[in-house]
A and B are shown apart, each in its own frame.
Chain A
Amino acid sequence: SYELTQPPSVSVSPGQTARITCSGDALPKQYAYWYQQKPGQAPVLVIYKDSERPSGIPERFSGSSSGTTVTLTISGVQAEDEADYYCQSADSSALFGGGTKLTVL
Chain B
Amino acid sequence: QVTLRESGPALVKPTQTLTLTCTFSGFSLSTSGMCVSWIRQPPGKALEWLARIDWDDDKYYSTSLKTRLTISKDTSKNQVVLTMTNMDPVDTATYYCARTPLDYDSSGYYFDYWGQGTLVTVSS
Judge if B110 is at the interface, Cβ distance under 8 Å: yes
Bitwise, B3-18 to A at CB < 8 A (1) or not (0) is 0000000000000000
Knowing A93-B60, A96-B46, A96-B47, the reply to whether A31 touches B37 (Cβ < 8 A) is no
Q: Number of contacting residues on A, CB 8 A?
A: 26
Assess whether A48 is in contact with B106, with CB atoms less than 8 Å apart.
Answer: no
Assess whether B46 is in contact with A31, with CB atoms less than 8 Å apart.
Answer: no
Q: List 25 A-B contacts (CB under 8 A).
A: A30-B108, A31-B106, A31-B108, A33-B111, A35-B47, A35-B111, A42-B115, A43-B114, A45-B110, A48-B110, A86-B46, A88-B49, A90-B49, A93-B49, A93-B60, A93-B63, A94-B37, A94-B39, A94-B109, A96-B46, A96-B47, A96-B48, A96-B49, A97-B46, A99-B46
Assess whether A33 is in contact with B110, with CB atoms less than 8 Å apart.
Answer: yes
Measured in the bound complex, the distance between the Cα atoms of B109 and A89 in whole Å is 8
How near does chain B come to A26, taking the closest CB pair, in angstroms? 10
Knowing A31-B103, A43-B111, the reply to whether A98 touches B46 (Cβ < 8 A) is yes
Assess whether B49 is in contact with A94, with CB atoms less than 8 Å apart.
Answer: yes
Measured in the bound complex, the distance between the Cα atoms of B48 and A86 in whole Å is 11
How near does chain B come to A91, taking the closest CB pair, in angstroms? 6
Residues of A within 8 A of B114 (CB): 42-44
Q: Which of A31, A86, A90, A98: most chain B Cβ within 10 A?
A: A90
The 8 Å CB contact of A86, one of B37, B47, B96, B116, is: B47
